[in-house]
Structures are given as C-alpha cells and as structure tokens.
Amino acid sequence: MKIKYLLIISMMVLSGCGGTDSGVPGASTPEIIPAQTYSWRMVTTWPKNLPGMGVAPETIANMVRKMSNGRLDIKVYGAGEIVPALEVFEAVSRGAVQMGHGAAYYWKGKIPIAQFFTAVPFGLTAQEMNGWLFHGGGMELWRELYARYNLVPIAAGNTGVQMAGWFNKEIKSLEDIKGMKMRIPGLGGEVFEKAGGTAVNLPGGEIFTSLQTGVIDATEWVGPYNDLAFGLHQVAKYYYYPGWQEPGPTLEAIVNKEAYDSLPEDLREILRAAVLTVNNDLLAEYTARNNAALRELVNVHGVELRKLPDDVIKELGKISMRVTASIVDEDPLSQKIFKSYTQYRRNVIAYERVSERAYSDARALVEDGNQW
C-alpha cells in the first residue's frame, strides 16, 4: 500500500510540472525561435570568376555560408554587374551593397594615402605587408582611416611581386618611356608620369581591347597567372620584370559599417576568419601558379622575357621616393600612416638583408643554371 501511494504521488507531481519531455501527457514544448539570417551582396573590381582574384570573393562567400550554416548568405557580383569596377568603394560606403572586394589604390582620387594599404613602389613585399598589417600597427591605421567612410576593411589576398608589364617596344633607357601611354594604377602610375609617360587607370576587363586597339601602348596587370588568362601575350611582344611598382599588393574586403555592426558577434568572427583565410591562401595560389604560367608564356607562346635595365630601375626608384612622400598631406592620420609604413620598411629591409635576400643569394650560388 505504501508503494502504491508513493507511485500515485509521483505521477501527480510529474503531471503538474509541465516538463519538456513530450512523452509526458499535458507537457508543454518551448517555442523554438529560428536564427536570424542575413542576405548580403558583394561587388568586386574584378571580372567574374577571374582566376585567383576573381574567384577569391566567391571563396569567401562559400566559406561564410558553410561556417554560418546559411545564416549569412553573400551573393557575389563581378565588375559592372551592379556597379562599375571603380565605383565599388562608393557603393559599399553609402550602403547600396553590404560588401566589396578590390584594392585600396583604386580609390587614390578620394583617399591618396589609402594606396599604402595596397602597394608602394619599391615598398613592402607580400610577406612584409602581412607583417606590417598584423603585427606592425598597419591594420589599426587602416581601420581608423576607413572609419571616416563608414567602412570596415579586412586584408583579403595578395598576389606577390608582380611583373613590370607588357610592352611592344624594348625599354633600353628612361627615354623609351617618354610619351608612352600605359595602364598602370596607384603610385606606380604617378611615378610613370613623372618619368615622362602617361598613366591610364583601367579596370582589368578593358585592358586587352585597349592594348589591341592602341588606346594604350603598354600595360601591367598582375603576373603570369592572370596575364596568361587575359591573353595579353597576343597583343604585346615583350614581358618585363621586376614589378617595381607593386612588390606585394594587398587586396581588400570592405564592409559597410552599419551592416557589419548589425551582425551578431559570432557571424562577424566567421566573416573575418573567412576573409583572412583567403588572404593567406591567395598568396600561396599565386606563388604556385605564376611560375607554371610563365613557363607556358615563354616556352609555348614565345614571349620575350626581359629584365628592366639597372639604370632604369635606379631612376624609377629615385622618382618613387619623391612621389611617395609627396602624397602625405597635412592630415595627422595621413602623416601617421606614412611614418608607420616607412619606419617598418626601414627595419624590415635591415633584417631581410641577412634573411630572405641572403638566402636567395646563397641559393643562386648553387643553382643548376636551368633558366626560363
């Protein structure tokens, strides 16, 4: 009787608790609120699915979609699909779209000092840029600068040392540059103009036709991997190196600040993690693909690979130092960015002499002599 009495009491207690176990008669089930989802658009300065740079935004979007289990869905648009390539910055800044992918030197007309966050002639290599951005204070300065334009920047790739470009005549001295029209953006373009040429700022999708029709006489784009994909060897004869104008060009993902702040913390971290993963992976991709593409250009397509004469490089270097310093205006932040970059450059070059350069020189001593 005692056992029977205890069982009755237990059942009465359970039936009054309203537990979450759906097997208990009369139990209530808590309401499940679905997680909020976000649909974004990302515009880019690159042609849709261009190898490397054009695929990188798609990779970011796919990674974010998977890591967030679909809570943040980003649709990518190539140059010209929503806005022209050179209007990406403005579109993201005003909130017409939530995100963009491009390069900071495209906005030099609006923010001259922003060019330091892409490439400076005779400046930092890709490895050195990552050092400055992530461990030398560069990223904090970049965020402070872009906050003025309602943007959050994230480093989103690097193509490594580029080529000097494609020409239809030999460059034997600085005189050969005078009067030449060349597609060359950023500070490199300003140096080219000081050397006597005319710099033209064209998006990638317009380069081939412009060179083919004589709108420009020469062009730099990226390097063998992308230049081969564009077919530039079909409209120019000489391929010059080294890429003095872009030794380590950093690409950027820019996010509208209101859109960024609207995300919960975990989605912001997922977005940052995806972009920074691509930042590292893109450099590895270009390192692997460029050497194979250059072999094809030279050995299959008969491209004439040339090194710029030392005296030309030295003169371009002198002009570069003057041009780089001249863009720093009275804005304290502009001066702060310039000081941070130049001090880091000075220090890292000193170390590079006994590390990267010393090793490259040592390796050259034991090469088997097999050239392109």
Residue with tokens 């094809």: 296
Which among 287, 313, 337 is the end of a domain?
Answer: 287
CA 8, CA 359: separation in Å to the nearest integer? 84
Q: Please check whether residue 367 lies inside any domain of the structure.
A: no
Q: Is the pLDDT of residue 320 over 80?
A: yes
CA 192, CA 174: separation in Å to the nearest integer? 10
Q: Specify the number of domains making up the chain.
A: 2
CATH number assigned to the domain comprising residue 313: 3.40.190.10
Q: Please check whether residue 17 lies inside any domain of the structure.
A: no
| 232, 108: one domain | no
| 226, 186: one domain | yes
Which of 4-13, 173-182, 254-263, 360-369 has the least mean pLDDT? 4-13
What pLDDT shows up at residue 39? 98
What pLDDT shows up at residue 28? 55
Q: Phi-psi category of 181—alpha, beta or left, where left has phi over 0 and alpha has psi -120 to 50?
A: beta
| 131, 275: one domain | yes
What pLDDT shows up at residue 371? 60
| 230, 252: one domain | no
Q: Is the pLDDT of residue 290 over 90?
A: yes
Q: Please check whether residue 148 lies inside any domain of the structure.
A: yes
What average pLDDT does range 356-364 have in this prediction?
92
DSSP code at position 112: G
**How does DSSP assign 114-153, residue by residue?**
GGGGT--TT---HHHHHHHHHHSSHHHHHHHHHHTTTEEE
| 320, 218: one domain | yes
What pLDDT shows up at residue 11? 44
| 233, 221: one domain | yes
Which among 233, 268, 287 is the end of a domain?
Answer: 287
| 117, 179: one domain | no
- Residue 23 has φ and ψ, to the nearest 5°, of -75, -15
| 313, 273: one domain | no
What residue numbers bound the domain in which 153 lies? 38-161+248-287
| 138, 203: one domain | no
| 155, 173: one domain | no
Q: Please check whether residue 338 lies inside any domain of the structure.
A: no
Note the pLDDT tens digit of each residue in 213-251.
999 999 999 999 999 999 999 999 999 999 999 999 999
**How does DSSP assign 21-71, residue by residue?**
-TTSTT------PPPP-EEEEEEESS-TT-TTTTHHHHHHHHHHHHHTTTS
Judge whether 257 and 151 are in contact, CB under 8 Å.
Answer: yes
Q: Is the pLDDT of residue 120 over 50?
A: yes
Q: What is the strand order of the sheet 165-167 is part of?
A: 198-200, 181-183, 218-219, 165-167, 238-241, 304-307
How would you classify the pairing of strands 99-102 and 38-44? parallel
| 132, 254: one domain | yes
Q: Please check whether residue 25 lies inside any domain of the structure.
A: no
Q: Is the previous residue joined to 242 through a cis bond, with omega within 30 degrees of 0?
A: yes
What average pLDDT does range 188-200 have in this prediction?
96
What pLDDT shows up at residue 364? 87
Note the pLDDT tens digit of each residue in 121-164.
999 999 999 999 999 999 999 999 999 999 999 999 999 999 99
Write out the two tokens for 107: 């906005």
- Three-state DSSP state, 271: helix
What percent of the chain lies above the pLDDT cut of 90? 86
Confidence of residue 12 (pLDDT cuts 50, 70, 90): very low
| 195, 298: one domain | yes
CATH number assigned to the domain comprising residue 152: 3.40.190.170
Q: Is the pLDDT of residue 372 over 90?
A: no
Q: Is the pLDDT of residue 72 over 60?
A: yes
Q: Please check whether residue 275 lies inside any domain of the structure.
A: yes
CA 366, CA 359: separation in Å to the nearest integer? 11
Q: Structure pTM?
A: 0.87
